[in-house]
Amino acid sequence: MTMPLTPTPSRVAGMTGRAALIAAIIVVAAAALPLALSNYQVGLATEVLIFGILAMSIDILAGFAGRTSLGHGAIFGVSTYVVVYATTHGGLPPAVAFAAGVLAATVVAAIFGLLAVRTSGVYFLLLTLALGMIVWGICLRWTQVTGGENGMRGDVRPAVLLTNSAFYWAVLASAAVVAFAMWRFVRSPFGLTLRGIRDSESRMRSLGYNVPLHLFIGFTVSGFFAGVAGALYAMFNNFVSPSTVALAQSVEGVLMMIAGGVGTLFGAFVGAAAIIALENVVSAYTERWQMVLGITFILIMIFAPEGIVGKLRATLTRKVR
Amino acid sequence: MIALPDGEPVSTSLDNAPLGIVFVPEPILTLTDAVVAFDALRAVDGVSLSVPRGQRRAIIGPNGAGKTTLFNAIAGMVPPTSGRIMFDGHDITKLPPHRRAQLGISRTFQITNLFPTLSVQDNMILALRGLSPRKFSLFGRPDRDSVEAPRIAAALGAARIAERADVTVKELSYGEQRQLEIALSLVTTPTMLLLDEPAAGLSPSERSMVAEIIRSLDRDITVVLIEHDMDLALGLVDFVTCMFEGRILVEEAPEGIRRNKKVQEVYLGKPRHA
């Protein structure tokens, strides 16, 4: 993303006219999906959008700050837990519960951030993993509040969004807003500092940047977006259990991000779509669908380590040249 | 400007001493008995030195003399084990690097340390915004504003890579990367510039270009540079500190340093019969 020295073309909300047009076409096409899909498939599409947001929030850190988190599933799940608890036991209206969930996730992310930002590489990976395991342990053992292994059920979804299509459109609208916000975030002056930290921490420090502070802010913002995904998931599922905050959830988010393309941001949706489609299609034919998923990953890593969107982008620019 | 070997700076040039009054600039950087120890190894072993404001100082010495460690202690990458460092009236001994940068210390790295996946332009923007609150703009526009653009252009011009602004750094030649090293440290108009072997690994023609860049720097900027190449270093500075085994061996003006017996010994070894 280099900035030309020549005057920049006219822009809509920071996007070039062409990018804004492409984004609009994609959103409209996505909005038309429920007209063509079965009820079950609309549910899958909703799931793709929700997990796409989660994978995007991980990409903010992994692709732009060079820090891969294995704790985002836990942050996501905290939001889900809080939303379900607040509506069923607290009797709060859905909108307030939603806000409480996102806030809780942001606070948890801030705590994770405080502990993790001074590390990098494999240490960051392991520390976020361990923090996520603590959240999972709490959700599993604090039976009076979380329902333990049985989890919690509750009618979280607001009445107007009860049909699958209506809920899908609401999630699509949220995803569009959140994706736009994240895109602005990574391209902002602050986003540039994260990319600087990814490239050279020591140079950033000698230029006057408080590197841990920037990573802390980045982690917290990323956790906020993961919290939005978690709150939407609560309304999607009307149910939460420890598997929502488990390590497997974090890993799935990371895998979706990698499959789509690290640092591509919107690749997260492509990765989420690919994995959720594979899971559902393949599991209809064989019980060994996880093996198929594993092989697919190995193939992606060998032939397109830059991810699906990353590969497409590289191929396209090569052709243009 | 010359300074006496005991560190007392005395100016003899008339350009900054109007009406013939002898002007003694206060030191901008003072190290008092600075020690940097890595376990048993004392890489910097009790260095006291003082650099007057506006001086150009070279730190020379053979490999392993502790030059880069001394730099890291001044810039804050490796805080001193003991001793004191004063900069521009502040005790910076325990400050982290980013706080020292905010006080006006800017440095380059011996081993090129840039942002390889970003454009030259974005490298410069990061360098410039390190000291401005705009770096915390979470959702703001990324572009340079009308204050930033001319400053970036000026620094790129001073380092002579203005025409490469839109290129990604990893696609620059090594020489151009060294020029960008200097441009990054210049754009904030620092009070003191620390240059760690700015010409390391360059061809002779590139070296003379780097020398020319350093020579044409604003005279208000205090420059401390480490350089292996004696000819290059001595042609650029007012005063020379020669280090050996973590200590200061000699401090002298460039004219004297070439003839100094001790300096010749550490660079070339003692004569066999001595």
Chain position carrying tokens 């600039």: B25
**Which ranges of chain A does DSSP label H, i.e. alpha helix?**
17-36, 39-59, 72-88, 94-116, 121-141, 143-146, 164-187, 189-199, 201-206, 211-237, 247-260, 267-285, 289-303, 307-320
| In chain A, residues 206-265 whose CB comes closer than 8 Å to chain B | 206-211, 214, 217, 221
Flag whether residue A118 sits within 8 Å of chain B, measured between CB atoms. Answer: no
**CA dihedral sign of residues A85, A90, A95, A100:** negative
Torsion of CA B126, B137, A80, A293, to 10 degrees: -30
Q: Which residues pair with B37 in a beta bridge?
A: B42
Examine residue A278 and state whether it is found in any structural domain, yes or no.
no
Flag whether residue B148 sits within 8 Å of chain A, measured between CB atoms. Answer: no
How many angstroms separate the CA atoms of B70 and B74, rounded? 6
For residue A4, name the pLDDT band (cuts at 50, 70, 90): very low
A118-148 residue pLDDT tens: 888 899 999 999 999 999 999 999 988 888 8
Closest residue by Cα to residue B237 from B11, B43, B47, B56: B56
* A207 with B184: Cβ contact below 8 A: yes
Chain position carrying tokens 């061996």: B249
Residue A138 — φ and ψ, nearest 5°? -65, -45
* A185 with B97: Cβ contact below 8 A: no
Q: Which residues pair with B45 in a beta bridge?
A: B35
Examine residue A39 and state whether it is found in any structural domain, yes or no.
yes
CA angle B115, B118, B120 (to 5 degrees): 90
Q: Are A119 and A125 in contact (CB under 8 A)?
A: no
Closest residue in chain B to residue A6, using alpha carbons only: B166
* B140 with A188: Cβ contact below 8 A: yes
Q: Which of A103-107, A236-240, B153-157, B262-266 has the highest mean pLDDT?
A: A103-107
- Secondary structure class of B223 (helix, strand, coil): strand
**The model's pTM:** 0.85
User: Residue A148 carries which DSSP code?
Assistant: G
CA distances (Å), origin A53, targets A256, A272, B81, B192: 10, 9, 47, 46
Which token pair is B87?
């900069």
Which residues in chain B are closer than 8 Å to A199, comparing Cβ atoms? Answer: 114-118
Burial zone of A83 (CB within 10 Å; 0-12 exposed, 13-18 middle, 19+ buried): buried
User: Residue B132 carries which DSSP code?
Assistant: S
* A188 with B138: Cβ contact below 8 A: yes
pLDDT for the residue numbered A130: 95
Which token pair is A218?
């980045």
Flag whether residue B19 sits within 8 Å of chain A, measured between CB atoms. Answer: no
Examine residue A98 and state whether it is found in any structural domain, yes or no.
yes
CA angle A296, A299, A304 (to 5 degrees): 120
> Residue-wise over B150-166: b if at least 16 C-beta within 10 A, else e?
ebbbebbebbbbbebbe
Flag whether residue B50 sits within 8 Å of chain A, measured between CB atoms. Answer: no
Q: Which amino acid is at A188?
A: S
* B135 with A210: Cβ contact below 8 A: no
Which residues in chain B are closer than 8 Å to A203, comparing Cβ atoms? Answer: 109, 113-115, 184
How many angstroms separate the CA atoms of B70 and B80, rounded? 9
How many angstroms separate the CA atoms of B206 and A257, rounded? 44
* A189 with B166: Cβ contact below 8 A: no
pLDDT for A208 beyond 80: yes
**CA distance, residue B122 to nearest chain A CA (Å):** 7
Instruction: Give the mean pLDDT per block of 10 residues along chain B (274 residues).
Output: 46 47 75 91 91 92 89 91 92 91 90 92 91 80 81 89 90 91 88 90 88 89 88 88 90 87 80 58
Q: Which residues pair with A179 in a beta bridge?
A: none
Closest residue in chain A to residue B132, using alpha carbons only: A208
Which token pair is A299?
């193939």
Examine residue A195 and state whether it is found in any structural domain, yes or no.
yes
How many angstroms separate the CA atoms of A317 and A269, rounded? 21
User: Residue B14 carries which DSSP code?
Assistant: S
Q: Which amino acid is at A91?
A: G
CA distances (Å), origin B35, targets A70, A141, A206, B47, B60: 41, 53, 21, 7, 18
**What is the number of domains present in chain A?**
1
* B138 with A210: Cβ contact below 8 A: no
pLDDT for the residue numbered B272: 62
* A3 with B144: Cβ contact below 8 A: yes
Torsion of CA A305, A309, A312, A313, to 10 degrees: -100
Residue A149 — φ and ψ, nearest 5°? -65, -25
Q: Which amino acid is at B264?
A: Q
* A207 with B130: Cβ contact below 8 A: yes
Examine residue A79 and state whether it is found in any structural domain, yes or no.
yes
pLDDT for the residue numbered B17: 45
Which residues in chain A are closer than 8 Å to B118, comparing Cβ atoms? Answer: 192, 195-196, 199
Closest residue in chain A to residue B189, using alpha carbons only: A207
Nearest to A199 among B76, B77, B115 (CB): B115
Range of the domain at A67: 30-246
How many angstroms separate the CA atoms of A127 and A125, rounded? 6
* A3 with B122: Cβ contact below 8 A: yes
Average pLDDT along chain A: 90
Interface A-B, measured as beta-carbon pairs within 8 A, has a size of 116
pLDDT for the residue numbered A157: 87
Q: Which domains does chain B have, with CATH numbers?
A: 1-104+192-206+217-274 (3.40.50.300), 112-189 (no CATH)
> Residue-wise over B185-201: b if at least 16 C-beta within 10 A, else e?
bbbbbbbbbbbbbbbbe
* B118 with A204: Cβ contact below 8 A: no
Examine residue A13 and state whether it is found in any structural domain, yes or no.
no
Report, as an integer, the average pLDDT of A168-179. 95
Q: Which residues pair with B242 in a beta bridge?
A: B60, B250
Examine residue A179 and state whether it is found in any structural domain, yes or no.
yes
To probe the interface with B, which of A187, A203, A262 has the most B CB atoms within 10 Å?
Answer: A203
For residue A47, name the pLDDT band (cuts at 50, 70, 90): very high
Closest residue by Cα to residue A153 from A239, A242, A244, A80: A239
Nearest to B75 among A192, A206, A214 (CB): A206
* A209 with B98: Cβ contact below 8 A: yes
Q: Could you give the ipTM of this predicted complex?
A: 0.83
A58-72 residue pLDDT tens: 999 999 999 999 999
How many angstroms separate the CA atoms of A84 and A274, rounded? 28
Nearest to A188 among B102, B115, B139 (CB): B139
pLDDT for the residue numbered A273: 94
- Secondary structure class of B52 (helix, strand, coil): strand
Residue A241 — φ and ψ, nearest 5°? -145, 170
Examine residue A274 and state whether it is found in any structural domain, yes or no.
no
Q: Are A87 and A156 in contact (CB under 8 A)?
A: yes
Burial zone of B145 (CB within 10 Å; 0-12 exposed, 13-18 middle, 19+ buried): exposed
Q: Are A206 and A56 in contact (CB under 8 A)?
A: no
User: Residue B13 carries which DSSP code?
Assistant: -
User: What distance, in Å, lies between the first and last C-alpha atoms of chain A?
Assistant: 16
